[in-house]
Amino acid sequence: MSLRQRILAYVSAARSSPVMASDPGELRALERDALSTLDAGFATLAAPIAPFTWEVRTLLTNITNNTNRVKFAFPWRVNVVGMQATLSIVLPRVGAPLPDPTLNDIDCMVDINNSAFLTGNDGLTTPIGQGGNNFVTLATLSIQTPRLLGLALEGESKPELGFTFRWKQPPPVAGPLYQSCIISVALFCYPQGILGPGQQTSFGLVGT
């Protein structure tokens, strides 16, 4: 049931029974539905509304297979309505000319609080082997048409997202396949409706 339908049902029931309208349990349920909805996060198909842009960055060299887990700890509970992945080639270029990697040449694993995973695959994972794991192509994290991200980070007061990156094709013993690059993933977020005690946004909003 959408939030609109939920509110209309509450209004209809409250008209029939004013006592129900002030029931603490019903009010808590309605408040929970309002805080968890993602309706406020989108204006059109490809325009997520988010005043905050936070970013994780790390270096993936052409002689290593993967990076360490890069974490971003949010200062309060947020809704993430989009991500945008970008690559920057490390300069100056060293050694023999190598092709520049694209977002399709790098895999990424995303987790919440180092436990729940947002990514997963089943199929070819190395040039010589099969298997499933939690890595997906980095390009798929970016805003797509017709898909946007609606991730409500709830539960903990300061939730954390973790990113781990690796080459889709591991560097062979003979030498690297691509230029080293800096990977960046921007997170487009807005705070959830009510902040906890002492939590504050850059807009000066403070939870009570």
At 181 the pLDDT is: 95
Query: Which of 138, 131, 149, 146 is CA-nearest to residue 184?
Result: 138
Region 9-37: mean pLDDT is 83
91 CB neighbour count, 10 Å cutoff? 8
Confidence class of residue 75 from pLDDT cuts 50, 70 and 90? very high
What is the phi/psi pair of residue 95, to 5°?
A: 85, -165
Model pLDDT for residues 142-165, shown as the tens digit of each residue: 987 767 788 888 766 788 999 999
Distance CA 180, CA 64 (A): 9
